[in-house]
Chain A
């Protein structure tokens, strides 16, 4: 019964070597060599067309020493707020709390809660209120922050926030079904976060 145990135990180790970390991907542009060879066999006189692989921009390599700046890509479904901007630090509102990201941060995927995202560049701080989203921090000090809705904090109307907070607190008290309670709780969370963004 245990004769095959050694072969079975060896299997995962063999499988593990073929899977690499995403940060190990090549930094230089790769040409699809097998396609080019097959093309040249069929029509050697015509230049092979470019494949989608050739159009993909290579990912920035993980530098061996700590980089001095963090590259931030902050995108929304309808606009790209920051595109490959070099900054000193960003503070993202993760569900686990305000997370400060500096160059050389460990690779992380963080789910964002409604809160303030601040981008620090020298002495300038730009604050955005983010409704929800994700932040992907890569080992090569590139941070991709995606949000469904993000507004500069000065575009928020304080009166509407107060009114919303009162409405949803009332709804939370009078809610009956689980779904109603959840919706009211979301309303209370978002409006309290908006409130603290305005005051903080």
Chain B
């Protein structure tokens, strides 16, 4: 582990949080799997959500998103 007050890891210095770093690593590993494990992993991590933007106190039309990997 870095010493107290020592240099931060390169991703922290570039403004990335640990969760972002960890998720990027996990996605890269999943992309390097053999089939059928790759398909299983990608389908497992798929998120499905509906996004509604609010403008001037009124909701706009919601968009439904189903992206496999979210950054």
Contacts and interface: CB of A to CB of B under 8 A. Distances in A.
A96 B6 CA distance: 14
A114 B29 contact: yes
Given A155-B37, A164-B31, A182-B14, A131 B26 contact: yes
B63 to A, nearest CB: 25
B1 A95 contact: yes
Nearest to A109: B1
B26 A179 contact: no
Interface of B is mostly: helix
Contacts of A95: 1, 9
A37 interface: no
Interface in B15-62: 15-16, 21-26, 28-34, 37-38, 41, 44
B25 A151 contact: no
Interface centre among B10, B25, B30, B38 (most CB of A within 10 A): B25
Contact of A151 (B9, B13, B23, B33): B33
B22 A133 contact: yes
Contacts of B29: 114, 129, 131, 149, 151, 190, 194
A110 B21 contact: no
B8 to A, nearest CB: 11
Contacts of A78: 44
Contact of B26 (A149, A161, A181, A194): A149
Nearest to A94: B1
B71 to A, nearest CB: 9
A190 B22 CA distance: 11
Interface of A: 78, 95-96, 110-111, 114, 129, 131-133, 148-149, 151, 155-157, 160-161, 164, 178-179, 181-183, 185-187, 190-191, 194
Given A131-B22, A179-B14, A194-B29, 6 more contacts: A114-B25, A148-B26, A149-B26, A151-B33, A157-B34, A178-B14
